[in-house]
Amino acid sequence: MQAIEAIGTIDAHGHLSLDQPLQVSHSGKVRVIVLLSDNEGTTSNGNGVDQTESSQQLPSLPPFLQFVEEISAQVPKEEWEKLPSDLSKNVDHYLYGSPKDEE
């Protein structure tokens, strides 16, 4: 399976149109996953679909990092505080029981 990222617009009827044609070597059915922006500048069309007023703006973070940031924001501060201060250095210890690196 191959993934292609593209930018498009959803109209008032919920139809998706891509800003540029996809560069693919064959035609056929595809699976589409739509990521809707939670940023300001979006309006709902009444069907629960957000429409970005300035569809030409790209997110400031790469899509994966933006996804990680969104998930991280859902974790309460108290839970973040429970993480060990040396987690990045001793991740193997906390995951697999390896000896701690005490340096």
- Report pLDDT digits (tens) over 48-83: 444 444 445 555 667 888 888 889 999 999 999 999
**DSSP three-state, residue 53:** coil
Distance CA 27, CA 7 (A): 19
User: Tell me, what's the pLDDT at 91?
Assistant: 93
Secondary structure letter of residue 27 according to DSSP: -
Task: Report yes or no: 71 and 63 within 8 Å, Cβ to Cβ.
Answer: no
Q: Read off the pTM.
A: 0.35
Cα-Cα end-to-end distance for the chain:
43
What pLDDT shows up at residue 57? 54
Of the listed ranges 9-18, 20-29, 56-65, the least confidently predicted one is 56-65
Q: In terms of Cα–Cα distance, which of 55, 66, 71 is closest to 16?
A: 55
Q: How far is CA 15 from CA 9, 11, 37, 43, 49, in A?
A: 8, 5, 16, 15, 10
